[in-house]
Amino acid sequence: MKIEDIIKTEVELPIAKKAIINLFYTENWIMEKINIELKAYDISIQQFNVLRILKGQKEKPANLSTIQERMVTKMSNTTRLVDKLITKGYVKRVICKSNRRKVEITITQQGKIFLDEVSPIMTNFENRVTSNLSKEDLTHLNELLNKLRS
């Protein structure tokens, strides 16, 4: 469906405006679908992203700024995200004895088990959402998005 039909306009949109509106609409559409997928697991996409970042550390602790730098969605509430994951038992925070300002965050075994359960579900979701696009389409889309940001 064309974006003009979705937003119910008969006005011919300038091509740049049309692209931006299409990007915003598509981002919201995807986020809504991701939230529906993750709701059953009582976790947000941001929390899920933090867990993937920590698992990618390969047992090496991360600090809040490392997590923040690697987040797809940059936000200032990384501390709150980590606190929620601690409450769920998925991560742990250790304050360095020699430098009390240094906080090290690692994924727990429970967090790894959770990721092992939910990651295949998210991969399946990603494949379903992009199923209308060929591998070449996806490659081209990624190239265009990278070009847009450069």
DSSP E strands: which ranges in 6-142?
91-95, 103-107
Task: Report the pLDDT value the prediction gives residue 103, as an integer from 0 to 100.
Answer: 86
CA distance 6 to 58: 44
User: Where would I find the H helices in 71-108?
Assistant: 78-88
User: How many beta carbons lie within 10 A of that of residue 98, not counting itself?
Assistant: 5
CATH of domain 43-149: 1.10.10.10
pLDDT tens for residues 29-74?
999 999 999 999 999 999 999 999 999 999 899 988 889 989 887 7
Tell me the pTM: 0.86
pLDDT tens for residues 112-127?
999 999 999 999 999 9
145 compared with 74, residue with greater pLDDT: 145
* Domain range annotation of the chain: 1-40, 43-149
DSSP E strands: which ranges in 77-123?
91-95, 103-107
CB 125 within 8 A of CB 34: yes
